[in-house]
Amino acid sequence: MPTRAPARRHDPDLIESLLSARDRDGTSLARLAVESGIPCGTLSYWSWRRRQRSAATRPAFAEMVVREEVIPGKACVGQRQADARLAIANVVKGLVYG
């Protein structure tokens, strides 16, 4: 029965420095794999893990503060409500599609 090759461990600090250089230089994972000798799949996995950690530290929502001010000619309550709805729609669109 064939034995399985031992798993290679890569230094997390080395991987992080390679991925940081990749972000800075715009190098593809394939080229980085050839240059570093680390399999492309391994670099891809570490890149994914890095994005997951980054996403976990970002806030899940954006706080919006509505400021009321009277604008000549737009002082009615209905107009302010319509302006607020439009502002909220633009913020949501920016979060979803931005």
- Whether 98 and 67 share a structural domain: yes
Q: Does the structure show a pLDDT above 60 at 58? A: yes
The residue to which tokens 């980054």 are assigned:
54
Hey, what are 20's tokens? 């940081």
Domain that holds residue 29: 12-57
Q: Which residues of 64-89 are buried (b: 16+ CB within 10 A; e: fewer)?
A: eeeeeeeeeeeeeeeebeeeeeeeee
* CB-based contact 91:64 (threshold 8 Å): yes
Mean pLDDT of the chain: 76
Task: Reply yes or no on whether the pLDDT at 34 is more than 50.
Answer: yes
70/88 same-domain check: yes
The answer to the question of residue 6 being in a domain is: no
- pTM for this one? 0.51
